[in-house]
Structure 1
Amino acid sequence: MPSSRTPSAPRPSRVERLARERVFQGYFAVDRHTLRHEQFQGGLGPKVTREIFERGHAVCVLPYDPATDQAVLIEQFRPGPFAAGDAEPWLIETVAGIIDAGESAEDVVRREAEEEAGLTLGRLEALTTQYMSPGGSSESIALFVGECDSAGVGGLHGLDHEGEDIRVFATPFAEAHAMALDGRIRNAMTALAILQTAAKRDALRKAWSAP
């Protein structure tokens, strides 16, 4: 991942790990880290202890039809917003999934597009890789846009044994972009994938329309 530091910024680099302990193991895991890190003013700072949510690394992909200029989105229940007391815990999102051992990000993108949206993706364009909640989770998410044919897209998808209940729909890209800007989309990786795709949209339509 490219560095976010400006050329003139100090460059701390030293981290001293004092302890790491697994304090919870369930569907996901939580590790307690005790460490000291170098500070911008120089020298090591005080000892800090943080619980970090460990769920592996993930991908998301925005299926995009260059012929019709449509994006394919999904909607599903999310327990996080429900636990936060959100009155509307069904979120509009992109296709996404966790990368298992031995899988590439591209493999997961294609598998999840079939499972969650019934789509076979064509060409893929990597957008960016980001940490969604770096203060408390080790998870990074690789974002892609994927070429698709949106004709006939719709219905309910997902794996029954995982309790998935996913509504799939196609929408004009301009409408997806508007939803990312006006707050109808409240999933950060989805909004970012749409905004990143918007910056590349004209070039993608030209490239993906070529034989």
Structure 2
Amino acid sequence: MSRLTEHRLASEIVYNGKILTVRHDRVRLPDGREATRDVVGHPGAVAVVPITATGEIVLVRQYRYPVAKELLEVPAGKLDKGEQPEDCARRELEEETGYRAGRLEHLATFYTAPGFTDEIMHLYLARDLSPTAQNTDGDEFIDIEYYTASQVKKLLADKEIIDAKTIIGLLMAGLGR
């Protein structure tokens, strides 16, 4: 056990929603004192950087209610209970963009914001895309957009892409500066 470890003494679920839960935990700190931690529980998610045969990067634009603006992002979505990350990546790519991946390469796995949530994100690169049909969820409104590598670099440099998973995904796929 690390000398930095905090030990949970008590836990109360204060919200249990469709996608996430919120816990209020009491913990023992490494020095013996007690403190509280609020934790957002999340089932985990995937994000996919799709690249067409001609080298175009497929991004999605959608309105994000919590930040009250449209964001340009890589396709992404939450894991269903018991679903494997690669299966989720294939499903979300097809649902959001109307493309099926012939090849998926795992790029990274990371915590999105470990200061308050346990959400883990699995990031993939998708190639050998074949068109199918976009099949978004009933409450999802998504525009599909195509960019060259140089356009993506400019969007990143101009700070027009401000979504963390998208920035990480594009950089991990070698599309950054």
Question: Structure 2-normalised TM-score?
Answer: 0.89
In the alignment, the residues of structure 2 paired with residue 69 and residue 175 of structure 1 have an alpha-carbon distance, to the nearest angstrom, of 12
**1:29 is the counterpart of 2:21:** yes
| Deviation sequence 1:57-96 (CA, Å, 0-9, x none) | 111001012x3121100000111102xxxxxx11000111
1:159 aligns to what? 137
Residue 169 of structure 2 is aligned to residue 177 of structure 1:
no
Unaligned segments of structure 2, at least 5 residues: none
Q: What does 1:1-211 correspond to in 2, within 5 Å? A: 12=3, 14-27=5-18, 28-38=20-30, 44-65=31-52, 67-82=53-68, 89-149=69-129, 158-160=136-138, 163-198=139-174
Greater helix fraction, Structure 1 or Structure 2: 1
Q: Residues of 1 paired with 2:16 and 2:87: CA distance?
A: 27
- Could you list the runs of 5+ residues in structure 1 that have no partner in the other structure? 1-10, 39-43, 83-88, 201-211
Write the distance in 1 (CA, Å) between the matches of 2:135 and 2:60.
9
Classify the secondary structure of the residue corresponding to 2:93. helix
Shift of 1:12: 3.2
Identity of aligned residues (%): 32
SS of match in other structure, 2:100: coil
Instruction: Assess, with a 3 A threshold, how the Cα gap between structure 1 residues 144 and 156 changes in structure 2: closer, same or farther.
Output: closer
Give the AA of the match of 1:32. Answer: H
Asked whether the equivalents of residues 17 and 36 of structure 1 are also in contact (C-alpha less than 8 Å), the reply is yes
User: What count of residue pairs does the alignment treat as equivalent?
Assistant: 174
CA-atom RMSD in angstroms: 2.3
SS of aligned partner of 1:68: coil
Please give the TM-score of this superposition, normalised by the length of structure 1. Answer: 0.75
One-letter identity of the residue aligned with 1:159: D
CA distance in structure 2 between the partners assigned to 1:156 and 1:178 by the alignment: 27
